[in-house]
Structure 1
Amino acid sequence: MPAIKSRRGPTKGDQRERALLDAARAVFRDKPINQVTIDELATAAGIARSGFYFYFESKQALLAALVDLVIGENDLEMAEWLASDGLDRAALRLGLSRALARWKVDGRWLREAFINPDPGPDVQQIRDRLVAEGCSAFSRRIERDARAGLTVMGRPPLLAAMAVNLRSVTFADAYADPGAYPDDELLDTLTDAILRLVYGVTPDRS
């Protein structure tokens, strides 16, 4: 008789940790992280202050865990373009539009995590890994097109790092000054800038 396999759902601990992450994401959207208190985060998550420290040592540790979630979101946003070949402007613009939408909501804490030159060791470690993984995914795509003779001269890892950094800085600036440029203009310009950087050309938009 075959063994019955159990399907364990999230434990209460899993749910509380996720509640803290969701609460932090909401609170960090509205206030600078250095102005947010542990009590505020615990209350927003519906747990006691002591419960916060069961899961996270500090606000920075919580922010690091929140940044860690971004890794999966980045993969989903850019999935179509990273899986395709050639310029594929439409897929690249789509991925960038998804990322811009996230930055417009979560830009306050994303700037703290990705633009702050000294975000703290917990966040720095996660940020370094996220940037490295993002650059690696870009680089692998560029390498495929380089073998096909489609890209400009230059090492794919360096081109990828430039593209990823350009994306982050552009979105951080867009959050800081949301009225500076219309979204469509910003996305079209960023899309074409990345394509020119990597391929030396851009496709006709018509």
Structure 2
Amino acid sequence: MTTARTPAGAAPSRGRRTGRSTGDERETAILATAERLLRQRAFGDISIDDLARGAGISRPTFYFYFPSKDAVLLTLLDRVTEEADAAAGGVFDRLAEDPRAHWRELIARFHATFGGHRDVVLACAQVRGTNAEVRRLWAEVLERWVRAVQAAIETERARGAAPDGLPARDLSIALNSMNERVWYATFAGDGPAVAERDVVDVLLDVWLTAIYRTTTPPVMPSAGTP
């Protein structure tokens, strides 16, 4: 599920480095300012002057790192999705050992990642209808996750743990899209919404029922088990 990418808007390295370069620190300061301001106000109410002031730089210096405030939001989204990919780790490789436990682990890790950056997630969801670049990046990310879950469903069917049924890709699209909407409602308080303390277990039961037709799928027998 992980894909190495260069974050959009990243500035090229310049000059001699001593630990972190000043350029890296300024870019990080811009991104940190943006995420902090998103906790306080809507993305549309944040100006480039706000971002520059919060990062301790001038407006012209801001443009050295990012061509627009949209590029800042895209970089934040890119980093959040990379963090989610990294959090998924090798969960799919261990799925057969205990499907319920490992599907829960996967959903919980994604929930923790997106919940930890909920203001970025909500801002991207709100501008996606009018921002083609955010829409394109999110579609690419969702396609990557759809393919990963599709492959996992097909593997579980091949080992006999999950029954055949709807096309695995269609099922994966529906499940990933459900997560997206449910998390948005939970994070935004956009009712009706599942309580945050319950959302992982609610999503888990729906996923298991859709994939296995049961909430207690079979585990792979341990080596040496008759």
Sort the Cα spacing of 1:115 and 1:135 in 2 relative to 1 into closer, same or farther, 3 A. farther
Deviation for aligned residue 1:190: 0.8
Name the structure 1 match of 2:200: 187
Deviation for aligned residue 1:141: 1.7
Does the CA contact (< 8 Å) of 1:111 and 1:172 recur in 2?
yes
| Cα distance in structure 2, aligned partners of 1:148 and 1:94 | 21
Does the CA contact (< 8 Å) of 1:97 and 1:187 recur in 2?
yes
SS of residue paired to 2:124: helix
SS of residue paired to 1:30: coil
SS of residue paired to 1:84: helix
Deviation for aligned residue 1:178: 8.1
SS of residue paired to 2:117: helix
Deviation for aligned residue 1:105: 4.2
Matches within 5 A, 1:61-72: 61-72=71-82
| Cα distance in structure 2, aligned partners of 1:158 and 1:8 | 50
Matches within 5 A, 1:1-206: 9-86=19-96, 88-114=99-125, 116-151=127-162, 152-177=164-189, 181-203=194-216
| Cα distance in structure 2, aligned partners of 1:66 and 1:119 | 18
Does the CA contact (< 8 Å) of 1:64 and 1:123 recur in 2?
yes
| Cα distance in structure 2, aligned partners of 1:80 and 1:188 | 21
| Cα distance in structure 2, aligned partners of 1:65 and 1:119 | 17
Does the CA contact (< 8 Å) of 2:95 and 2:102 recur in 1?
no
After TM superposition, the structure 1 stretch with the greater mean CA deviation from structure 2, 53-62 or 97-106, is: 97-106
Deviation for aligned residue 1:155: 2.2
After TM superposition, the structure 1 stretch with the greater mean CA deviation from structure 2, 103-112 or 194-203, is: 103-112
| Cα distance in structure 1, aligned partners of 2:167 and 2:194 | 32
Does the CA contact (< 8 Å) of 1:139 and 1:160 recur in 2?
yes
Deviation for aligned residue 1:195: 1.2
Q: Which has the higher helix share?
A: 1
Deviation for aligned residue 1:47: 1.5
Amino acid at match of 2:148: A
Amino acid at match of 1:190: L
Q: Following superposition, which runs of at least 4 residues in structure 1 exceed 6 angstroms of deviation?
A: none
SS of residue paired to 1:85: helix
Unaligned residue ranges in structure 2 (runs of 5+): 1-16, 218-226
Sort the Cα spacing of 1:45 and 1:95 in 2 relative to 1 into closer, same or farther, 3 A. farther
CA deviation vs aligned residue, 1:14-39 (integer Å, no higher than 9, x gap): 22222222221221122110011111
**What is the RMSD computed on CA atoms of the aligned residues?**
2.6
Deviation for aligned residue 1:56: 1.4
Does the CA contact (< 8 Å) of 1:115 and 1:169 recur in 2?
no
After TM superposition, the structure 1 stretch with the greater mean CA deviation from structure 2, 55-64 or 14-23, is: 14-23
Identity %: 26
Deviation for aligned residue 1:181: 4.2
After TM superposition, the structure 1 stretch with the greater mean CA deviation from structure 2, 148-157 or 53-62, is: 148-157
Does the CA contact (< 8 Å) of 2:184 and 2:190 recur in 1?
no
After TM superposition, the structure 1 stretch with the greater mean CA deviation from structure 2, 156-165 or 179-188, is: 179-188
